[in-house]
Amino acid sequence: MTHQIVIVGGGAGGLELATRLGRTLGKRGQAKITLVDANLTHIWKPLLHEVAAGSLNSSGDELNYVAQAKWNHFEFQLGRMHDLNRANKRISLSATLDEHGQVLVPARELSYDSLVIAVGSTTNDFGTAGAAEHCLFLDTREQAERFHHQLLNHYMRAHASQSETTELINVAIVGAGATGVELAAELHHAARELAAYGLDRISPENMRITLIEAGPRVLPALPERISQPVHKTLEKLGVTVLTGAAVSQVTREALHTAQGQIIPATLKVWAAGIRAPDFLKELDGLESNRINQLHVRPTLQTTLDDSIFAFGDCAACPQPGSEGRNVPPRAQAAHQQASLLAKSLKLRIEGKPLAEYRYRDYGSLISLSTFSAVGNLMGNLTGSVMLEGWLARMFYVSLYRMHQIALYGMTRTLLMMLGDRIGRSTEPRLKLH
């Protein structure tokens, strides 16, 4: 019988893996590859802060799973996994409902010979009082668009107002990791663009952005030599940066810190911490950690079941030589792991030993919208090279282009780049709806 590979999760890693396997094992008839996701389209998660600010029209950059499956010899199934039967090698998918609450796709089960779980992560509010009720999150395209709509609503109300009072928008962002930092810069850019389009009742300086970090500095997961210039650039843009400030409560009007500060905010975004989806916790006995990540061995196989693999943000993968730490939840790690699994699953079908994953850090790049970019690149020959400004911005953009090349190939990606350049001359610089 044909080996059945089921991949749950169509994020960057899962989609790249399904595409690679489809082009090899699927095309040759050596395996049947099925990708499962709760959405019909994919957008690269590191772009969601641009969707939230309106700098990116998500409709233009989304990928349709059904079309991608047809072009690359795999099958797509719409659904959300909620249970696992390891003994019978079957997963259970919940029913998918339409906007009226009617069943669009019924609940069902899928069989597998090899199961790959790549469901990514969601934001972790650490149980902070009021966070879930009053904060917006940026885990999905829908959440990013919801923030954008709320931002535009404030501008439209101010634009129609007859009041002589100065209009203000207070935006508070909890978490000064990559998402929080990039969102803060992108919102400052959006404020300038909105004023340039005539929505100037709220001037750029009256969008007051506060970035709140519990740790001692911004970008705590990256080297200090990157965080320092980023901090200075944010302050030059007028962003208020609060470090060493742990948010203890969120209300409708403000955020309260454990240090006694009260930060008024009209729009509140929580961008601190991650956790894997709750359904992974104790999934038919598989081992998981306190943030629901599945424990895996260096082969990316789960610790208790050789037929089940996990990678990306939802997997706790040991990092050799790092004193018990796991591979960091970063896009480059998911990309590397997808490349390894594309080879490993072929080896598994052939009954050969699997290779072990070793994380390679190629550096980090942080985009500060059109104002700048900061980061470092790491290589065997060059060591660690610090980048800033235009050159860093070009390398940052190239990360997305590499993701597109993995999915579409070089020719189609070049055509898409050409289309993007032409579109910039005929469309507004900011999404205004």
pLDDT digits (tens, 9 = 90+) for 52-61: 999 988 877 8
Residues of the chain with pLDDT under 70: 378-384, 425-426
Identify the pLDDT of residue 68: 97
CA distances from 37 to 76, 77, 106, 279, 336 (A): 8, 7, 14, 15, 21
Identify the pLDDT of residue 16: 97
Identify the pLDDT of residue 185: 95
Show the tokens assigned to 304: 């208790």
Identify the pLDDT of residue 218: 96
Classify domain 3-121+276-349 at the CATH topology level: FAD/NAD(P)-binding domain (3.50.50)
Residues 6+ apart with CB under 8 A from 289: 295, 316
Query: Is 35 within 8 Å of 65 (Cβ atoms)?
Result: yes
Q: Same CATH topology for 3-121+276-349 and 131-272?
A: yes
Residues 6+ apart with CB under 8 A from 106: 95
Q: Where are the alpha helices (DSSP H) in 36-108?
A: 48-53, 58-61, 65-71
CA distances from 40 to 9, 76, 80, 93 (A): 11, 9, 12, 15
CATH of 131-272, one of 3.40.800.10, 3.50.50.60, 3.40.50.720, 3.40.190.150: 3.50.50.60
Q: pLDDT (tens digit, 9 = 90+) per residue, 130-179?
A: 999 999 999 999 999 999 999 999 999 988 887 777 788 999 999 999 99
Tokens 């090698």, located at residue: 89
Show the tokens assigned to 251: 């209300």
Q: What does the domain layout of the chain look like in residue ranges?
A: 3-121+276-349, 131-272, 363-424
Residues 6+ apart with CB under 8 A from 381: none
